[in-house]
């Protein structure tokens, strides 16, 4: 069963990706801050990758495509 926090993280990540695709980096920044806040309260194992890590990877891809 998915927890409420997991559902919220999934929704925020979806909005983050939509904002990135539409070039709304101002909105993506807010979503990234929300993911960072959720991640700061999580006690997960080092092997488990979070949506925050995925968001950072997507940002790296956006930055690389702009150059």
Whether pLDDT at 51 is above 50? yes
Whether pLDDT at 44 is above 90? no
pLDDT at res. 61: 84
- Rounded (10°) CA dihedral 16, 20, 24, 26: 60
Kindly report which listed range (11-15, 24-28, 61-65) carries the lowest average pLDDT score. Answer: 61-65
pLDDT at res. 30: 97
Q: Is 23 left (phi over 0), alpha (psi -120 to 50) or beta?
A: left
Sign of CA dihedral 45, 36, 14, 6: positive
Instruction: Decide which of 54 and 48 is more confident.
Output: 54
C-alpha to C-alpha distance for 25 and 16, rounded to whole angstroms? 9
């Amino acid at each position: 069963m998915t927890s409420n926090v997991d559902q919220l993280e999934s929704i925020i990540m979806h909005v983050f990706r939509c904002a990135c695709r539409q070039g709304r980096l101002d909105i993506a920044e807010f979503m990234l801050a929300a993911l960072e806040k959720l991640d700061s309260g999580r006690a997960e194992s080092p092997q488990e990758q979070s949506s925050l890590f995925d968001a950072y990877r997507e940002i790296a891809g956006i930055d690389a495509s702009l150059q």
